[in-house]
Structure 1
Amino acid sequence: MMKKLADNDKKFIVVCTNTETGQPDYFYPNATNVLTGSCCVPLLYRNPVYLAGIRVIDGGIGDPMPVKKAYLEGATDIVIIRSRIGSYRETKGSLEKKLGCFLYRHPPNIHRSILNLADTYNEGIAFIDKPPLGVTTFQIAPQQPLKSNMATTNTKTLEHDYLLGKELGKKFIMDSQNDVNMLLLAIVNN
């Protein structure tokens, strides 16, 4: 899979969080551990992951909604696939963040990133809701909260949410094709 991504002419960028700076680092996939690093949840992943000599963890800590990065890379049509309902906004002070800050108080930059996670997440949502001129955003998001969470191991629960996501993706593709066909029809008829 990584070879196919690396050989593709489309940009595919993976976000990881640098444990020294607490900031996002962006990688073009050329090694199998890039994807591992991007989803390396602190405390749940046994071994540290290093990319380019940098220890990295879950990219969702440094940049939980990397739409601005897509824009800065030149994207004008941005599709966001969310595991939360479209109206979800992050709140400060949740138990996970407090626990994460306690367990990750060293290095301090990760601690700071966890404390600022709600603001960082919601800034990404604000970008999605009001993108710059010439940029269009599309969200694929469930209508109801998923049954699974980041620690779910029940196969049936995971399969349920996987199939839901697959259906939402198919619906998005069909709706997009219908929009293009309607636009082409309108152009031909004018």
Structure 2
Amino acid sequence: MSGVNVSICRSSIEPFHKVNDLSSLALITEGGGQRGVFTAGVLDVFMENNFNPFSLLIGASAGSLNLASYICNQRQHAYRVITEVTTKKHFFNYYNIFSNKGAMNLDWLIEETKTNLKLDWDTGKKNMKYKKVLACASCLYEDKAEFFDLSLGSWEDSLKASCSIPLLNRHPVYFNQKYWVDGGLSAPIPVEEAYNRGFKNLVVIRTNPKGTYSSHQWLKVAKKCLSKTKIATLIDMLLIHERNYERNEKFINDPPGDAVIYEIHPSKKLNASLVGSDLLSLHSDYEHGRKLGKYFLQYYNHLK
């Protein structure tokens, strides 16, 4: 028997699904680089309404950065990081993509969240006494997801590991005696992890429209031609991401019988890209997220 998937989207108004128990809610946030501005819009509306009933929060890549702002209860923090930091050449520069520097400067982004756009970890730590916030990262040589508790150890290393996009970030992040790359490789939408931890009511914030699949068969052909190059290693990573994304998507669309998934997703492809987006596109996607955040809260209030 299948569980329930409820689509929260302006173009898809589903009947209210009454559930008996809304306790032990989990929140899962997808990555997507600058497309995470959509998630920032949703979470800002949640904060404006003092809405954080979640016992478990799990984010992958940009999704983990959004959760850091959310658990610290800082409205517009994630929006400002995306629009004021990730749009700067000091953070991302195409011309450095094949240099030793790499195109992406995660160290600078994290430094900004400690200085000019400082995260309020005093508030965050108080909130994490009652909630668990996990940042998903991928172990480079094991094709395995790891989930780092932001209340333990170095939150800086955990967030950097979760967001370290291969090729763009020149070197993987090294800590805990392992090399780590973007959590979106092994668990693009880490909904199964929440379910396996015993959470049956799952709120998932997506940065892609419902039913998004990526299938690049040409990558398999290219890999055969480039079998002993660094490009082949990158292709391997992309294929791993596609496989895991499809698995996560299937779980969301056809959840186990005891699960209810509330899926907040864009009604269409977002204007923003992974990187290199203009401010108009970012603001438009942020407002789209705000609208769906408000719609979800209206929906949620009908369930209580």
Q: What TM-score, normalized to structure 1?
A: 0.79
Q: Which has the higher contact order (CA 8 A, sep 6+)?
A: 2
The amino acid that maps onto 1:18 is: C
Question: Secondary structure, in 3 states, of the residue corresponding to 2:247?
Answer: helix
Q: Which position in structure 2 is the counterpart of 1:75?
A: 199
Moved more, 134-143 or 50-59: 50-59
Cα distance between partner residues in 2 of 1:46 and 1:114: 16
Q: Counterparts of 1:121 and 1:33 in 2: how far apart (Å)?
A: 24
Identity %: 25
The number of residue pairs the alignment matches comes to 174
Match of 2:133 in 1: 12
| Matches for 1:35-50 after TM superposition, within 5 Å | 35-46=159-170, 48-50=172-174
Deviations 1:137-171 (A, max 9, x none): 11100111000111234222212212211221221
Quick check: 79-88 or 44-53, which moved more? Answer: 44-53
Spell out the pairing of 1:1-190 with structure 2 (5 A cutoff): 1=72, 2=121, 4-7=123-126, 8=128, 9-29=130-150, 30=152, 31-46=155-170, 48-93=172-217, 103=230, 105-106=232-233, 112-180=236-304
One-letter amino acid of the structure 2 residue matched with residue 85 of structure 1: P
RMSD: 2.5
Q: Quick check: 1:152–1:158 contact (8 Å CA) kept in 2? A: no
- Contact kept in structure 2, 1:85 and 1:145, CA below 8 Å: yes
Does structure 2 retain, via aligned residues, the 8 Å contact 1:62–1:113?
Answer: no
Q: 1:84 to 1:49 in 2, by over 3 A?
A: same
Aligned CA distance change for structure 1 residues 3 and 48 (closer, same or farther; 3 Å)? farther
**1:41, CA displacement in angstroms?**
1.1
Structure 2 unmatched ranges of 5 or more: 1-71, 73-120
Unpaired segments ≥5 residues, structure 1? 181-190
1:75 partner letter: F
**Residue identity in the other structure for 1:155:** L
Counterpart CA distance in 1 for 2:271 and 2:230 is 27
* Separation (CA, whole Å) in 1 of partners of 2:167 and 2:303: 44
